[in-house]
Amino acid sequence: MRKIRLLKKGLAIAAALCIWSSSALPALASGNPWYDKYVAFETGGSTLNPDTSYSLDSGVLAFQESYMLRSFLSLYQSSLDTGWLDKFVTRANRVKSNAQDLYGDGYLGWESKWYSPNLATNGTFASAASGDATLPAGWTRSQSTSTTAYRSATSGDYKPSTAVCGGDTQGFVLKTNAVSWQKLYQPLGTYEPGKKYNVRFDAKTNGSAAKGRAYVVDASNSNAILGSVVFDNTAWAPVEFDFVTPGSAGHTLQLWLAHNDYTVAGGIAYFDNVAVSAYYPYILHDGIIGTVMAEFIRLVYDDSTNLSSYTTTANAYKTFIENELVAKWEDSGSYVGNTWVNVSSTEGYYREPTTRDTFSTATVLNPLPYNQFLVMAELQAIMYGLNGNSSYLTKAQKMGTFFKNDLATVSTGAGTAYSWGYLSFDAKKEDISHANLDLSVAIELYQAGQVFNATDMERFSRTLTELVWNQSTSSPLLHNYVDGSQGSACQDFMWTYDMPGWMELAQFDKTVWEIGAGLYAPLTPSRKLEALVIAKLMEWDPAKLANRGFEWPSKNDATLPVRWNRSQATSATAYLDSSNKRAGKYGLTLVSNGTSWQKAYQNWSGYMASTSYVLTFDAKTDGSAAGGKVWIVDATSGTTLQSYNFSNTSWQTHSVSFTSPANASNQVSIYVGHNDFSVNGGKAHFDNVAIKRPGDAW
């Protein structure tokens, strides 16, 4: 039943892609729908795709900018066009240059306001004061009355929620009377002295000259104003300002909501979703930003000849990661202190700082959620491969082991899958959106030969294909949690499109790519995360050939590139070769044995019938009479669509034009090997084998 279901699914997705691509973005007309989608988003301008590399907020850098940076690396790996690396460097340099020594502890970094405790209470005005339904609990009127300062559930008086599960329907309305100030205020909670805080809220006015205003005062110091903002927008919009708390504790700070000019009659200001919180650094964000920089460094180091112009930049990133992003979280003298916990000789993790309260939850995060500390395992695993620092490897192994030991197995119709929690000490399951980070770490460690093995990758793949996916080919959706449940959320399938980490599993199971393709074929991307998923779809698109640069070994044979097969050959005559490559980590070497064809091949699918294509590849030979050769074979009809011989002894790019079969369901295979198998010991080397439409840039 499983085999039949996958066949039907593959045909359904192929049909959907053909229908979609025939009408999508004709101005781009690249011949590849994923590339068209990506470029349309990437060049969509400030409205669709604002340049977030200018942001100083670590949360924005981690959960927006990093997706674009990572997608640039993915586009480079698919196309080998260094223009994508240039885009990466321009933006990553800006991110790095905006890092500051914010606390005078000698460490550069960024900070965010979105995770720390909220000093404001009842900022949504959802709760009413006892005995007065017009007054929000925790707030006090100043000169105002229930007719000029009041809670309201009237449409237009509150900011409509965009959350999937909705939100409260209360806002606050403040009206001028042209005689006296009409205000609302509340005292703020305990603060950290000398610390930068942010006040933010949604607001609008009725357009009068009274405008709206919010400000923070130090009531212990003659009501000195610490920060304020004036607004006059007439549609709901976010408003914010920063202020610095007094240098000592014990002051009474107050947040006031008011107008800018009380003498104007008929002025109305509307407020909702008020929050006040401190800026802090977060290991999660440093880990994500550092990891994408580390991936760039690895690309450059793995291909030092072709990418030598980027070496200086890569070295600068390496120093930055080592001296700033990793070190500060293990230094008891830093602002955040040493957050590493060495559980045992085999396990360890990072916890929240003990020096200050940086999280809004009352729960002590010891350890941090998996998705927060595991990103540092990924970063340090990559860095170990770049600097050989054994302490990096040890911590990466310990974090990976801590995570692996907490994975639960679930029996499915196809085998065993994994399920796991959001926290090691909580029953709540991990949601599929945060799971992207967990999976990325596990796959990185697997590829480094650490902690995780092929069986683990198969189980993670089944988590998606057997538990999370709804099994529909016409309307594919992903359940909320890794155990395949809706959980306590108001509805299911809330994070269906959040799958960049899940897409990495396509190297282990083709079904993963098919699920992603089914989800994204009708989607017009509107988020940077979605652009990254599309970049990953491009990497594993069977219409272009998968693992074109032979970068990923098979999970069952480290000498064989995944998605490629041997024909009569063995691991001694067809193997991944790190010494003979045009780019990246590996090339593929074929050795003739004098008695039979030694070939490698990949089955090609997703093509359009009776259409012109070009097979491109980099290749060289050892100069022997065996030479080198490629074949494009229609196995269904038993015909060779095209073949091509070469004998060059230095790397050269070759192109072969051919026409696809009239029947798009025919099995077509791309073979690489020798021109003459009767020669013993002849070597042919291949890299970057890809298929494209004539004229395509990629």
Residues 626 and 133: their CA atoms lie apart, in Å, by: 89
Residues 328 and 343: their CA atoms lie apart, in Å, by: 20
Instruction: For residue 682, give both structure tokens.
Output: 């002849």
List, for the chain, all residue ranges whose pLDDT scores fall below the cut of 50.
Answer: 1-29
Q: Is 656 helix (H, G, I), strand (E, B) or coil?
A: strand
Is the torsion defined by CA of 635, 636, 637, 641 positive or negative?
negative
* Spatial CA neighbour of 39 closest among 63, 65, 68, 18: 68
Give per-residue pLDDT as tens, 431-480: 999 999 999 999 999 999 999 999 999 999 999 999 999 999 899 999 99
Give per-residue pLDDT as tens, 116-168: 999 999 999 999 999 999 999 999 999 999 999 999 999 999 999 887 787 88
Residues 510 and 547: their CA atoms lie apart, in Å, by: 12
Q: Is 539 helix (H, G, I), strand (E, B) or coil?
A: helix
Residue 518's H or E segment, with its range, is helix 510-520
Q: Which residues have a Cβ under 8 Å from the Cβ of 612 and sit 6 or more positions away?
A: 657, 658, 659, 693, 694
**Beta carbons of 459 and 524 less than 8 angstroms apart:** no
Which pairs count as long-range contacts for 98-101, CB under 8 Å and 24+ apart, including other chains? 98/54, 98/55, 98/56, 99/320, 99/324
Residues 121 and 139: their CA atoms lie apart, in Å, by: 8
* Spatial CA neighbour of 61 closest among 110, 13, 105: 110
Q: Mind spelling out the 3-state secondary structure of 280-343? A: ECCHHHHHHHHHHHHHHHHHHHHCCCCCHHHHHHHHHHHHHHHHHHHHHHHCCCCCCCCCEEEC
Residues 140 and 145: their CA atoms lie apart, in Å, by: 10
CB hemisphere CA count around 509 (13 angstroms) = 22
Residues 184 and 282: their CA atoms lie apart, in Å, by: 33
Instruction: Give the CA angle between residues 529, 535, 540 to the nearest 5°.
Output: 130
Residues 284 and 436: their CA atoms lie apart, in Å, by: 13
* Spatial CA neighbour of 425 closest among 341, 338, 494: 341
Tell me, rounded to whole angstroms, the distance of Cα 424 from its chain centroid: 23
- DSSP per residue, 103-143: SSSS--B-BBSSSSPP-SSSTT--SEETTEEEEETT-EEES
Residues 82 and 88: their CA atoms lie apart, in Å, by: 10
**Beta carbons of 519 and 499 less than 8 angstroms apart:** yes
Bridging pattern class, strands 140-142 and 408-412? unpaired
Instruction: For residue 610, give both structure tokens.
Output: 């009776």
Q: Is 423 helix (H, G, I), strand (E, B) or coil?
A: coil
Tell me, rounded to whole angstroms, the distance of Cα 191 from its chain centroid: 33
Tell me which amino acid residue 230 is: V
Residues 600 and 686: their CA atoms lie apart, in Å, by: 10
Distance in Å from the first CA to the final CA of the chain:
37
Domains, in order of start, for the chain: 2-113+281-539 (1.50.10), 128-278 (2.60.120.260), 553-692 (2.60.120.260)
* Spatial CA neighbour of 203 closest among 297, 273, 111, 141: 273
* Spatial CA neighbour of 654 closest among 663, 664, 643: 643
Alpha-helical (H) ranges within 482-567 are 500-503, 510-520, 528-539
pLDDT value at residue 24: 33
State the residue for tokens 């200001």. 269
Residues 586 and 9: their CA atoms lie apart, in Å, by: 33
Residues 409 and 417: their CA atoms lie apart, in Å, by: 6
Residues 114 and 122: their CA atoms lie apart, in Å, by: 17
DSSP β-bridge partners for residue 639: 634
CB atoms within 10 A of CB 263: 14
3-state helix, strand, coil in the chain (%, to 5): 30, 25, 45
Instruction: For residue 24, give both structure tokens.
Output: 């999508």
Residues 25 and 601: their CA atoms lie apart, in Å, by: 33
Output b/e per residue, 151-166; b: 16+ Cβ within 10 A: bbeeeebbbeeeeeee
CB atoms within 10 A of CB 585: 17
State the residue for tokens 């003659």. 222
Residues 517 and 538: their CA atoms lie apart, in Å, by: 10
Q: Please report, for residues 352, 465, 503, the alpha-carbon distance to residue 510 in angstroms, rounded to integers and kept in the order given.
A: 38, 10, 10
**Beta carbons of 174 and 257 less than 8 angstroms apart:** yes
Q: Is 174 helix (H, G, I), strand (E, B) or coil?
A: strand
DSSP β-bridge partners for residue 566: 600
Q: Please report, for residues 24, 25, 295, 498, 528, the alpha-carbon distance to residue 38 in angstroms, rounded to integers and kept in the order given.
A: 12, 11, 21, 16, 10
**Is the backbone peptide bond immediately before 542 cis, with ω within 30 degrees of 0?**
no
Residue 175's H or E segment, with its range, is strand 171-177
**Beta carbons of 660 and 615 less than 8 angstroms apart:** no
DSSP annotation of 384 reads H
Residue 274's H or E segment, with its range, is strand 265-278
